[in-house]
Structures are given as structure tokens and as C-alpha cells.
Amino acid sequence: MHSNTHHTERAHPEKPLLQMKNIHKSFSGVKVLDGVCFDLKKGEIHVLAGENGAGKTTLVKILSGAHTDHSGDVYLDGALVRFVSPSHAAKYGISAIYQERSLVNSMSVRDNIFLGKEKTDLLGRMNFKQENDLARHVLQQLGLDIDISRPLSSYPLSVKQMIEIAKALVNESKIIIMDEPTSALNTMETSHLFEIINELKKNGHGIVFISHRLEEIYNIADRITVLRDGKYIGTSVPDRLSSKNLVKWMVGRELKEQFPSRTPFSKKKSSVILSVRDLSLNNKSISFDLYSGEILGIAGLQGSGKSLILHSLFGTFGKPDLGHMSLDHREHMVKSPAKSIQNGIALLTNDRKNNGLVFDMSVKENITLASLSKFLKWGWIQKKKEDFVVSRMFESFHIKAKSMEQTVSTLSGGNQQKVLLAKWLMTNPKVLFLDEPTIGIDVAAKHEIYKLMNQWRDQGLGQILITSELPELLALSDRILVLHRGRLSALYEQHEATQEKILRSAMGQCN
């Protein structure tokens, strides 16, 4: 076993529900799991933790029958099994809920729940009555009051996730795998999910819960197993593993400080790069300035209009109703995203999948996607110049990929986010809008993105940052604008801002 391996759990007499022993797996010759062990007991929530790319998803995909070309053994209730497909694993009572959902939007909630295992009578006819009753029963168990005949598309993501769990319950799964289920949920939805997970646990299900968020891990875990670079690092009960050590297990070193240090910002030494006057948003208007070399944070509750501001300025909705803007001392007309990019505005959104990355193209192609004109000469792409510039980006962003030719879909979330940032930086922006730039990525990748943001700040780029993580907002922003229902309710300098003040302003109270 690995010399770095830690064991701090007590011996447990009963036979585990699941044991995975010495699992190895490679993708086209590259080893991504290297002798990993994992076990799960009945009625246990076992958190699988590790940075992006550690191998967590790959491990559970072996367990759920999605990957079959591994070596090593899997035991269920002490008996050796070898799954050949996800439906095979499902027959043994294993269900997995992945980040990419397996549901079909155009189908009804009921049909989604029974997808692939429709209830039929002896003649093979669908038994809708039985399906309806079972679906209602299961959804009730989950505290979900929805119309099961409506298409799935009419429900928000948090509900879709519950429907995936309903699917697992209908399947009478003993083991339920959840791969980063909270990455797109807000605080309330997350706590609802946690209630349900605890309920499943009480009913004797074994839960494999994947996460890299520390608060979450300590909130829910009975045991924690950490993977790093495809290797098994250790297993512990949370009480015996401090968060400091957990980070050390995950990252392989101590992170001295969460946020990199930097020089204070001085308005006096800078000038306004973007000036916004009377921008109209939902019948309200807003004015503010962004300085070059400044990171301006925008805070506000869900629905306060944070993202709306950035999208309006970027031209996502075309020309705004009212207001004017100047960019780099020139009158700037908002027209369309393409025009904005040309004029030096870049917008990074929190939706990598639908906004920004072309998943089946290479890292290189994605990076140059928005700035191809830079490499054109007489209508030809200058390959050498392109390679040179991209490889410099590739290195300075520390993108973890075999080469610039690797397909973006095979990178981890943190590295995809870096590719997206590189793509926007390639357009040479004067101002950069960042909407939740670190959502869903691990501690170390976050740290690197913070460092890059500080670097660009020192080079004079103006940045507007939206993040729902207040510590991040406080540490990175030079000034913080707070919105309440589409109105500016406060503006703080970094040194005077606190979490409490921001929350109060966001709720519309005076400080």
C-alpha cells in the first residue's frame, strides 16, 4: 500500500455493504486510478474527497458499471461482482447521480423516473396506475409536491436532482452515489438535500457522496476517504481529521493562506476605465465607475440583479433601454456581445457548459476561439504564431492536460475553467466581468485563479467580480457594490467591508 496512506478508523466487525480493492484504471495509457481502495457500510454516508482530477468520478463510474475496463475487485455483501454495464449494476441495487444528468427534459417526471424500467403487465403493456402510485409515494417520501405528468423541463435543477433520487428509490437501490450533487444548488436547496440524504441513511441505504467543499464534508460525512492524483491517501472519521489535515491530504501540501496577498489599491494612482451612468434594469437605474487595476465586487441576494448588470453591459440582450457608458474614456454603445468583445469587454459566466466552451474541441481551439482574427494574415491562420501564444497561455495558467490538443470535455472542472479564462484573456480585454469564476472548482485551482486575477489587476485590467462566497468577495474586491432589488444599496471600500454589513445592505437594511 502507498507509504502516504493514513488509517484512523476503528475496526468494524460487520461485513461492509461494498468493498473495492486495489482498483487500477487508465485512459489511453494514462493511469488515473492507481491501487485505490474504498468500502461502504449499510446506513453510512461515506464522502469521497479530492481535488478536481483526483479520480473520484472515475472510481464511482467503475462502481456503477459505466467503466468496465479496470483491474481490481469489487465485492457486494462480501461476494465478488464484475459489472458489465450500468443496468447490470442497477440490478444489484447501485444507482449513480452524476454531474451530467441522465434525465430527459422533454419527457414527463413519471417517465423519467421509470426510464428503462417501465412497469409492465404480463403482456408487456405499461402499467401506468402502478407507476403513478409508486412515483407519488416516492416523491412524497422526498417531500416533493409536483405534478408528475408535466415535462421535466418545467422544474428547476434542484427538483431534477430530487427526481434522480426518486429514480434511485424506485430502483430499490442499496447504494446511492452522488457525484458533486450540490455544485449547482443554493444554500436552502443544499440543506433540503442533506435532510433527504440523512433520511436515506436512516433507512439503511449506503451513500457515496462526492464533494470538495470542506463545510459540506464535515456536515454530512460519517467517514471521509481522500484520493489525490489517482492514489488512495487515507480514510478517517471526521472527528479525527482536522480540516487543515484534510486539505493537506487533498492538496499534498499545506495551503499557507487561502487568498494570496497583494498590494493595496489606490484610486488616486488609477483612472476610470469603465463608467456606467443611468443604466436601466427592470425600471430602475444604476450608476457606478470601475477603475483600471481595480477589482470591483458586486454583492446581492439571489435575484437582486447582479448577473443582469454584467449581461446588460456586455450586450447579451442587445442595446439597453437607457443609460450611457464610457470605456477607456470613449463613449461606448452597447450593441451585442461580438461588438463588446471587439471593444475590449470580456464576460466569463458560471455556466461553462452552455456559455463559452465547445466541449468536443481541443484546449487550443477553445483558447483561440474568440480571438482568431489576431492570427489571421491574408486570410490564413498563422499556425506558428498561434501555437506560440497558446502554449504561453497554457503554461502560465498551469492547465493540467496532456497537451494543447486534448479535448476539453476530458479535463476536470477546474482546468476547464482555466481554459475559459485563457480564452477571454486572449481577446486582450480592458475590462473583465467574472460571474462566479470559481464555482465548482477545488481549493488549489481556486487559489491559482485568485493569483491570476491579482496579476491582471497589477497589470491594470479592470475587473468586476460576482461571487456568492462572501469570504472570496471580501478578500478579492477593492470595493464592493451591494444591490438590493436591483438598486444600489451600499458601496464599501475593502477595509470597511464586513460580511455582516454586506448581508444587511443586501437585505435592504441601513448600516
Determine which residue in the list 50, 297, 300, 344 makes contact with ligand ADP, applying CB under 6 A. 50
Q: Which three cell numbers stand for residue 83?
A: 459489472
C-beta of 89: minimal distance to ligand ADP in Å? 17
CB atoms within 10 A of CB 145: 8
Residue closer to ligand ADP, measured from CB, 33 or 274: 33
- Out of Mg ion, ligand ADP, none, what residue 411 binds, judged by CB under 5 to 8 A for its kind, is ligand ADP
- Angle at the Cα of 223 (from 218 to 228), degrees rounded to 5? 85
Task: Please list the residues that pair with 38 across neighbouring strands.
Answer: 20
What is the H or E stretch that residue 136 is in?
helix 128-141
Which residues in the 271-310 window bind ligand ADP by CB under 6 A?
A: none
Buried b (16+ CB within 10 A) or exposed e, 444-474: bbbbbbbebbbebbeeebbbbbbbbebebbb
- Out of ligand ADP, Mg ion, none, what residue 454 binds, judged by CB under 5 to 8 A for its kind, is none
C-beta of 159: minimal distance to ligand ADP in Å? 25
Residue closer to Mg ion, measured from CB, 89 or 497: 89
Judged by CB under 6 A, the number of residues near ligand ADP is: 13
* Cα separation of the two ends of the chain: 57
C-beta of 149: minimal distance to ligand ADP in Å? 35
Q: Is there binding between residue 57 and Mg ion (CB under 5 A)?
A: yes
Pairing label, strands 345-348, 295-299: unpaired
Determine which residue in the list 16, 55, 293, 440 makes contact with ligand ADP, applying CB under 6 A. 55
Q: State how far the Cα of 241 lies from the Cα of 244, in Å rounded to an integer.
A: 8
Residue closer to Mg ion, measured from CB, 336 or 410: 410
- Out of Mg ion, ligand ADP, none, what residue 486 binds, judged by CB under 5 to 8 A for its kind, is none
- Out of Mg ion, ligand ADP, none, what residue 317 binds, judged by CB under 5 to 8 A for its kind, is none
Q: Which of 108, 88, 112, 86 is nearest to 170 (CA)?
A: 112
- Out of ligand ADP, Mg ion, none, what residue 337 binds, judged by CB under 5 to 8 A for its kind, is none
DSSP code string of 112-126: HHTTTS--B-TTS-B
Phi and psi (nearest 5°) for 116?
85, -10
C-beta of 57: minimal distance to Mg ion in Å? 3
- Tell me 222's DSSP state: S
Q: Is there binding between residue 411 and ligand ADP (CB under 6 A)?
A: yes
Residue closer to ligand ADP, measured from CB, 141 or 410: 410
Q: State how far the Cα of 484 lies from the Cα of 300, in Å rounded to an integer.
A: 6
Q: Which three cell numbers stand for residue 423?
A: 480564452
Residue closer to ligand ADP, measured from CB, 399 or 488: 399
Residue closer to ligand ADP, measured from CB, 227 or 432: 227
Applying CB under 6 A, the span of 143-151, 213-221, 391-399, 409-417 interacting with ligand ADP comes to 409-417
Residue closer to ligand ADP, measured from CB, 208 or 273: 208
Q: Which long-range contacts (CB under 8 A, 24 or more apart) does 391-400 make?
A: 393/367, 393/422, 393/425, 393/426, 394/363, 394/364, 394/367, 394/422, 397/421, 397/422, 397/448, 397/452, 398/448, 399/363, 400/53
C-beta of 70: minimal distance to ligand ADP in Å? 12
C-beta of 411: minimal distance to ligand ADP in Å? 6
List for the chain the helix, strand, coil content (%; round to 5). Answer: 35, 25, 40
Amino acid at 439: I
- Out of Mg ion, ligand ADP, none, what residue 467 binds, judged by CB under 5 to 8 A for its kind, is none
C-beta of 94: minimal distance to ligand ADP in Å? 17
Buried b (16+ CB within 10 A) or exposed e, 74-83: bbbeeeebeb
Q: Which three cell numbers stand for residue 268?
A: 488616486
Contact 205, 173 (CB under 8 A): yes
Q: Which of 164, 50, 111, 16 is nearest to 414 (CA)?
A: 50
Q: Which of 292, 339, 243 is nearest to 463 (CA)?
A: 292
Q: Is there binding between residue 410 and ligand ADP (CB under 6 A)?
A: yes
DSSP code string of 61-108: HHHTTS----EEEEEETTEEE--SSHHHHHHTTEEEE-SS----TTSB
Residue closer to ligand ADP, measured from CB, 32 or 461: 32
Residue closer to Mg ion, measured from CB, 57 or 236: 57
Determine which residue in the list 20, 23, 38, 56 makes contact with ligand ADP, applying CB under 6 A. 56
Residue closer to ligand ADP, measured from CB, 90 or 411: 411
Applying CB under 6 A, the span of 214-222, 404-412, 445-453, 468-476 interacting with ligand ADP comes to 404-412
Determine which residue in the list 173, 190, 368, 412 makes contact with ligand ADP, applying CB under 6 A. 412
Q: Which three cell numbers stand for residue 407?
A: 479535448
Q: Which three cell numbers stand for residue 138?
A: 416516492
Applying CB under 6 A, the span of 45-53, 69-77, 145-153, 455-463 interacting with ligand ADP comes to 45-53
**What is the number of H-type helices and E-type strands within the chain?**
16, 23
- Out of ligand ADP, Mg ion, none, what residue 55 binds, judged by CB under 5 to 8 A for its kind, is ligand ADP
Determine which residue in the list 32, 163, 207, 233 makes contact with ligand ADP, applying CB under 6 A. 32
Judged by CB under 5 A, the number of residues near Mg ion is: 1
Applying CB under 6 A, the span of 51-59, 195-203, 479-487, 500-508 interacting with ligand ADP comes to 51-59
Interface residues with ligand ADP (CB under 6 A)?
Answer: 27, 32, 50, 52-58, 410-412
Interface residues with Mg ion (CB under 5 A)?
Answer: 57
